[in-house]
Homo-oligomer: A and B are copies of this chain.
C-alpha cells in the first residue's frame, strides 16, 4: 500500500532565509523508510522541502491570502505576476552568502535560468524593464530556496511570500511609515496581536560600526554577525566577530554596548543623539534624522505601540539601504527547552526514528520582514535608480500560528463549497433512480449560481445520498420523491440537524430556486468568509 505522510503544520520563511540548520547526520537516508515505492519502483512523494496543500489547510490559506489582498488593495496596491524563473544573471550577486541556495534550471540549450529566490529582485527587474517611475505593487507567489528544510516549523524549499512594495521618489519616511502600518494592519487583521515589530536603520548601524572602528570593507560581515543576535547570545556573536571576522576585542565590546539598546523610537533616539561616538558620524546622523521624522508619522498612524527600535536587528540581505524591520511573535523564538529537544532528537536518530532535522529546536523566526532598498532597481537600469520600500509576509509561518491557535474552531469548517445536494427517493417497479431528473434539477440550480451536487449513480438508496451530502458539507437537500416529483413537487430539507423527524418543505418545481435562495440566505454558507471571520476574531 502507498503511504503518504501528510504534514499538518507547515509554513515557510518570511523575508529572508534562516541560516542553514545543521541537520543531524544520516537523516536523509532514514527518511525513505516512511515513503513506500510506487508501481514503477520509485518514491511516491513530493520533493524534499515541498508539500501538497489540500482540504482545510487550503481554506485557511485562502482566507489569509484574501485578507492580505484586501489590505494591499486598500493601500492602493495593484498586482503583477512575474515568471517563476528568471535569467540567472538577474539573480546573481543579490543575496550575499545565500546565493548558494538558488535553484538552477538545467542547461537544456538556450538561456541559463534559475527559480526566483524572493519576489523583491524580480520586482526591481520589472520596474527597471518597464521604466516605471512609481508603483505600489503587491505580489503573492511562491519562491524557492535550497535550504535545509524544517517542515514542522515552516522552513520549506518552496513557500509563498506576500509582498507589498512602494517604488518612487517621495518625501523621506512617508511610504516607510505606511508600510509599517500595512505590516501592523496585516497581522492584526489576521487576529495576530501579540507581535512586536523590531526596527533599525542601516545608516545608523553602519555609522555605529564605523564609529566603533570597523573598517569599511568589514562592515557587511560584522553586520551579518550582529544579525545572529536573535538566535545566539552576545558572547557567541562577539566570538564570531573577534575570531572568525578578525575584529579587535575593544571594537566588539563597543559594538556590544550599542546593540543592547532597544525601546521606543524616541527613547532610543534620545540615547543616540547624546552619544559622543556618533556625534561626528555622518551616516549615523542621517539615520537619526530619518528616525526622528518616522517617529512623528507612526504616531499619526497610531502604530507606535507595536514598534521597538532595536539596534541588534541587522537583516541579512545586502540590498537594504535604510529602515529595516521584522515582526516577531512568541512563536518566533526557539522553545525554552530547545537543548533538551536537541538531545532527544539526537537519540531518536540513533534509534532509527525520523527527525525532520533542526525543526524542533528552532522558532519559526520572523513572520513578516522588509526594509528600504534604494539601489536595487539601479542595478538593472544603468544606475537610474528608483527608491523602494517594502514588506514581505511569511504566509506559511502565519498559517501555522493561526492553525495551532484555531484547531478546534476550524473543525467545523467544511472544505468544499457545496450548498445543496439533489437526491431521489423511490423504489418498486419501473423505478430508474431519476438520474436524468436529478441532472436537470441540479442544472437548474447551477444556472441560478447555486453550488449543488448529486450522486453520480443511476440508482442509490436514500441513506447513501444523505451520507454523500454530509461528506460534501451541503446545507440543504433537495429530494425528488418518486410520486411527489411526478406531480411536479420537490422537498427541501435543512441538513446537519440529525434525524429530527422533519420531512422538510414541499415546493413546486417552479418555486424551487427561489425557495432555495431564501433558505441559503438564512444560513451561513460561505466557507471562506466563515474562516476569515474566525481568524479575525481569534
Contact = CB atoms under 8 A, between A and B. Distances in A.
Interface of A: 1-2, 4, 6, 28, 38-40, 42-48, 50-55, 58, 61-62, 70, 73-87, 89-90, 93, 103-108, 110-111, 113, 115, 125-126, 128-131, 136-137, 142, 144, 146, 158, 166, 168, 170-171, 174-175, 177-178, 181, 185, 296-297, 299-302, 378-384, 415-418, 435-437, 439-440, 443, 446, 449-453, 456-458, 472
Contacts of A78: 54-55, 58, 415-417
B297 A76 contact: no
A350 to B, nearest CB: 23
Contact of A105 (B103, B185, B301, B443): B103
B383 A39 contact: yes
Given A42-B89, A89-B40, A451 B4 contact: no
A284 to B, nearest CB: 24
Contacts of A177: 439
Given A40-B379, A174-B457, A383-B39, A80 B103 contact: no
6 contacts: A2-B381, A45-B129, A76-B453, A136-B416, A175-B456, A296-B436
Number of copies: 2
B39 A451 contact: no
Given A45-B129, A74-B449, A74-B451, 15 more contacts: A4-B131, A38-B380, A40-B93, A44-B380, A53-B82, A54-B78, A73-B451, A74-B446, A76-B418, A84-B115, A104-B106, A106-B106, A136-B416, A174-B456, A301-B443
A348 B297 CA distance: 57
Contacts of A2: 128-129, 131, 380-382, 384
Contact of A53 (B52, B80, B107): B80
Given A38-B381, A446-B185, A449-B74, A456 B168 contact: yes
Scoring A90, A439, A457 by chain B CB atoms within 10 A of each residue's CB, the highest score goes to A439
Contact of A446 (B42, B75, B472): B75
A113 B50 CA distance: 12
B105 A80 contact: no
Contacts of A446: 74-75, 181, 185
Given A42-B90, A89-B42, A54 B83 contact: no
Contact of A85 (B47, B73, B168, B175): B47
Contact of A417 (B47, B73, B108, B181): B73
A252 B1 CA distance: 45
A44 B125 contact: yes
A379 B300 contact: no
A274 to B, nearest CB: 26
Given A76-B453, A181-B443, A142 B48 contact: no
Contacts of A58: 78-81
Nearest to A172: B458
Scoring A52, A53, A77, A137 by chain B CB atoms within 10 A of each residue's CB, the highest score goes to A52
B103 A439 contact: no
A129 to B, nearest CB: 4
A300 B185 CA distance: 50
Contacts of A131: 1-2, 4
A438 B443 CA distance: 52
A384 B142 CA distance: 33
A89 B35 CA distance: 15
Contact of A457 (B6, B170, B302, B380): B170
B381 A39 contact: yes
A188 to B, nearest CB: 10
